A and B are shown apart, each in its own frame.
Chain A
């Protein structure tokens, strides 16, 4: 009986951890960001508001123009 309760508790714990990870991943994906890729294969990702904002503003303008 005790081992059964332990197993249930462990399963619930694992489920909630997995759920949190999935939620955070989805949230991170939804965040506004700029990914720039260069010819040598390097890439920079701008997500901080102060560094990404000018590019985000231009991209918003493009979305608006393109309808």
Chain B
């Protein structure tokens, strides 16, 4: 699934997510619900800086990597979720259902990572009795 399709599906399943940007470490934007590409890039850059700040708060240097974060503000919440090198930043209204938003964002990243489903093969055409008859005639 490509980023645009994954984001479209995210917006279908989650009524709480207002805007979302999928990006890679380094700030390269893979897809966004924002119409303005420049804004999407700025959101990705800010989100990356946010998680760099958050990772510094870890007391142990040998600790595991960042997985996800939520910043709760009065105007709304900001979520950043990581899956490998890919990240998604999303905004919601104030007081969202945190667990549900994390789940939807993780699903979105996993769908993106999953290989594309193989195309369904169309069922073999049935040969008509007349066609079969013709073949038999040709043999004899």
Contacts and interface: CB of A to CB of B under 8 A. Distances in A.
Contacts of A59: 50, 71, 73, 78
A66 B76 CA distance: 11
A35 B54 CA distance: 9
A42 interface: yes
Interface stretch (B3-11, B22-30, B58-66): B58-66
Interface residues of B, number: 35
B78 A37 contact: no
Given A32-B73, A39-B64, A58-B50, 18 more contacts: A29-B72, A29-B95, A32-B74, A36-B55, A36-B58, A36-B68, A36-B69, A37-B68, A37-B69, A38-B63, A39-B66, A39-B67, A40-B64, A63-B75, A65-B43, A65-B46, A66-B43, A67-B18
Interface of A: 29-40, 42, 44, 46, 51, 54-56, 58-63, 65-67
18 contacts: A30-B95, A31-B72, A34-B71, A35-B71, A37-B66, A38-B64, A38-B67, A39-B65, A40-B64, A54-B53, A58-B71, A59-B73, A59-B78, A60-B75, A62-B89, A63-B76, A65-B46, A66-B19
